[in-house]
Structure 1
């Protein structure tokens, strides 16, 4: 999808909204669509791959949530980037972890799985908030770096462990890991990159 096409689409939608006298909410929604379109155009993945990743992630998450044994006792998150799945969270035992991986592996689109689920109880809300804060700190430092393309890095933090995904060069991956490692509060950094 070209930038020119995106700009034309945004202008057309805004014009339509104004001509039809739509409420402010509709204009905000159109603006959100425009922001998403710009985000899509900055990604090294094709728009088709981004959509396929989104749909495959939803399918895999649905399989996990439909399995009562897994969903009742576990907290499992799935992140998908360029057909590579990252599984994070907690499960009561190794058998449940393997079952979750097996379900995700049954989605044909997914070609590789990084299973980083830990044995244990789901982390408390305070740890979740701390993880979000850590992710924000890392994102801020990565965006400030000239050596890392921040728009190409996906940051997942789970119980103070940082997982980095994206389509990057080896130098960009090394720089991103170095930045994350030096953020106060980070326990461990795991690379789940694809080298570009």
Structure 2
């Protein structure tokens, strides 16, 4: 009996080990809500679970809205972090760019829209492959940095321009930008962040590890943002109907200076 029990235990351990080995290397281990990247640094998502759900809903509904208004020359990606929407991709005209930005601004729970869509031809397969490569390199470089939590940032790359999204202190934002600028092939670094104080971050880490979501759009880097918590509405109500085709598109939101700091590569 003891021999059979030992054999069963050995088989169970072998199966678990095989399952762990089959998982992608970039997938972190989650223990009690804490992300453990191998044996390295440990960090939690600085957004609350409600805000994370909001971000997922915003991206899904944003993509659905884009598909409804899309034409042959429109290829736009919607990314949301801390309810701040980043738009990247290409469109065929300035009017299309303005309309996409306006439609995203109408989505529930969106604090602000950073419209980085460009007017021109779509990206090539080589462009997209290079962007994927650069995203992986920047993420790896952030994880290798020992003085910041690389998992606290969301990295998006579009035509060699790296966008860094997150909730960070001024020092963390500057350090992350320096790391991204050091990756060969990166043309420019754009930060779309909520800047918080060291005290705000320390208080959040002592409580539940999340940082309060500001009610206003993400400030420019020089304006720091502690901000008060805004309530989440999950599940979200149905999207408002699209305007009729004979109605001119609503004016676009203010130019996307809001929350963006562009750091050219040295």
The answer to whether TM tops 0.5 is yes
In structure 2, the CA distance between the partners of 1:38 and 1:65, relative to structure 1 (3 Å rule), is farther
**Correspondence for 2:92:** 92
Residue number in structure 1 paired with 2:79: 79
Structure 2: unaligned runs, 5 residues or longer: 1-11, 13-17, 36-42, 197-266
| Poorly superposed stretches of 4+, deviation over 3 Å | 34-39
Equivalent positions of 1:27-176 (< 5 A) are: 35=30, 38-39=34-35, 42-69=44-71, 72-176=72-176
CA distance in 2: counterparts of 1:89 and 1:172, whole angstroms: 27
CA distance in 1, matches of 2:118, 2:70: 19
Larger Rg: 2
Aligned residue number for residue 195 of structure 1: 195
After TM superposition, give the deviation of residue 38 of structure 1 in Å.
4.6
Give structure 1 stretches of 5+ with no counterpart: 1-17, 19-23
Matched pairs, number: 168
Shift of 1:126: 1.0
Q: TM-score when scaled to structure 2?
A: 0.58
CA distance in 2, matches of 1:50, 1:68: 27
Q: Could you tell me how far apart the structure 1 residues matched to 2:176 and 2:88 are?
A: 20
Partner of 2:215: none
Q: CA separation in 2, counterparts of 1:77 and 1:147? A: 31
Greater relative CO (CA pairs within 8 A, separation 6+): 2
CA contact (8 A) 1:74 1:121 kept: no
Q: Deviations over 1:96-139 (max 9, x none)?
A: 10010011011021011111111111101111010010111111
1:85-104: CA deviation from partner (whole Å, max 9, x where unpaired): 00011111111100100110
Structure having the higher helix fraction is 1
**CA RMSD, 1 decimal:** 2.5
CA distance in 2, matches of 1:35, 1:43: 11
TM-score where L is the length of structure 1: 0.78
